Amino acid sequence: MSKKAKTAFVCDQCGTDYPRWNGQCASCGEWNTIKEIRLAPTANEKRPPATGYSGSRSEVKRLSDVNLSESERISSGISEFDRVLGGGIVRGSVVLIGGAPGAGKSTLLLQAIANIAAREISVLYVSGEESLQQIAERANRLKLPTENILMLAETSVQRICDVLDEIQPQILVIDSIQVMHTQTSDSAAGSVSQVRESASYLTQYAKQNDVSIFMVGHVTKDHSLAGPMTLSHIVDTQVMLSSTDDARYRVLRADKNRFGSIGELGFFAMDNTGLKEVKNPSAMFLNRAENPAPGSVVTVLWEGTRPLLVEIQALVTDCQYGNPRRLAVGLDQNRLAMLLAVLARHGGISTASDEIYANVVGGIRVTETSSDLAIVASVVSSLRNKVVSQEAFFFGELGLNGEIRPVANGHARLNDAAKHGFKKAVIPKANAPKKAIPGLEIHGVSNLSEVLDILFEI
């Protein structure tokens, strides 16, 4: 009689194990995420041999003896992609790239490895979803050099590692990690345990053989990475590729990076020949209307390692019935509510009976507080139905007491705005430069009252 397979209950979101099913995960607090899975064989049972990496004992070292030389990087030939990765591809690193279907994940990786292979660096593209003919047709449509790109259609990580031992490539692409499976787990491909074990297996191989691995990951309906949360902890870098609201541009963001900045952005335009780099993303987000309108204000964000000029729009209108709405697109709605409260308390401008809609043009999402001044200025501009000068820009954090707090990298923000033709700046007094910037009139402010006094005078 065959033995009954052992099972366990694992949370899809955080990977926590339970002896029995629960409605809510006690670790992450999510509901209906605990699934039953079959466990891998124990040490006493028959198990397929684990090939592909050595199980030798690691050497103990003193921390002072560790080599501090910078990790060698390989350029992908796409500067925006290298920027997000922190300057290029680190040898032995594992990068997880996620995104919605059709975002361009496979296209971006195919363009990158084509550039790398053209420099006679060995690369291997493993496809578990598309056929090799489909990938070849895409490469031909994109007019990419394909002579040096090695392809493999496989979903078993053990067999993939056996092939890696034979050809020893420097770059490996796994498309996608959700369809990979390992022989050491009996659960179905795509399950929590399979995704976790497959990613761990490949990561160990990458570390011990200095192979740089790119894993393509699927996303859920709420645009978060599919699979267990442990997948994000296993990899070195996690980047997400998304499209702007008008679907004309793609934005690549680093959510985790052990070798570079978190929050770094890369911008691309999608056309018939693939993804093209956007060298000047500020110009992309500053396509302003010819006729100035109230409620439109420009701010300078700091994304990763560079400034980014974006337009913030606000619309204040009378509430027709019920409670007035507060809607923010690209902004934190709770922060918008807080800024409106500060505006009422320290600026004497109440919007309690008005409906307010705020939007960041171009589909970019603001995650820092330097946009506070621009948000308040756009709300006041729409409320008073007065146009703010198109030659002016605003940045600075607004405190609960109405004070204007300085932000990081103020001088670099000012220089970038000046290069784009802006002539007036309203910024925190602490960010005012000691030396004048040619062609730029700077107004340093210390509280909200000063901002309101000069808002329509500059």
Tokens of 218: 């699927």
Residue 2 has pLDDT above 80, yes or no: no
Residue range 313-335: average pLDDT?
92
| Nearest Cα residue to 98 out of 199, 240, 227, 193 | 240
Residue range 381-391: average pLDDT?
95
Q: What's the pTM value of the predicted model, to 2 decimals?
A: 0.76
Distance (Å, whole) CA 116 – CA 177:
22
Cβ atoms of 192 and 224 within 8 Å: the answer is no
CA angle 231, 232, 235 (to 5 degrees): 85
Tokens of 392: 């002016």
- 161-190 pLDDT tens trace: 999 999 999 999 999 899 999 987 777 777
b/e string for 131-149 if b means 16 or more Cβ within 10 A?
eeeebeeebeebebebeeb
Tokens of 411: 């001088």
- 75-107 pLDDT tens trace: 999 999 999 999 999 999 999 999 888 889 999
3-class DSSP assignment, residue 358? strand
Average pLDDT value over all residues in the chain: 88
Task: Tell me the residue type at 177.
Answer: I
Cis, peptide link before residue 54, omega less than 30° from 0:
no
Domain ranges of the chain: 7-37, 73-279, 284-454
Cβ atoms of 86 and 261 within 8 Å: the answer is yes
Residue with tokens 């060298």: 279
Cβ atoms of 280 and 419 within 8 Å: the answer is no
How much is the pLDDT for 50?
44
- 220-271 pLDDT tens trace: 766 667 666 778 889 999 999 988 766 778 999 999 999 988 888 899 998 8
| Nearest Cα residue to 149 out of 177, 182, 166, 173 | 173
Residue with tokens 């041999």: 49
- 438-447 pLDDT tens trace: 999 999 999 9
How much is the pLDDT for 283?
78
Count CB atoms within 10 A of the CB of residue 183.
17
Q: Where does the pLDDT of residue 44 fall: very low under 50, low under 70, confident under 90, or very high at 90 and above?
A: very low
The pair phi, psi for residue 365, each rounded to 5°, is -110, 130
Residue 41 has pLDDT above 80, yes or no: no
Q: Domain 284-454 adopts which CATH fold?
A: Ribosomal Protein S5; domain 2 (3.30.230)
Task: Tell me the residue type at 382.
Answer: S
Residues 6+ apart with CB under 8 A from 343: 349, 351, 376, 379, 380, 448
Cα distances from 146 to residues 76, 89, 106, 270, 396, in angstroms, run 15, 20, 15, 21, 49
- Helix residue spans in 210-307 (DSSP H): 230-234, 281-285
3-class DSSP assignment, residue 429? helix
Q: Is the dihedral of CA 368, 372, 374, 376 positive or negative?
A: positive
Among the CATH numbers 3.20.20.70, 3.40.50.720, 3.30.420.280, 3.40.50.300, which is that of 73-279?
3.40.50.300
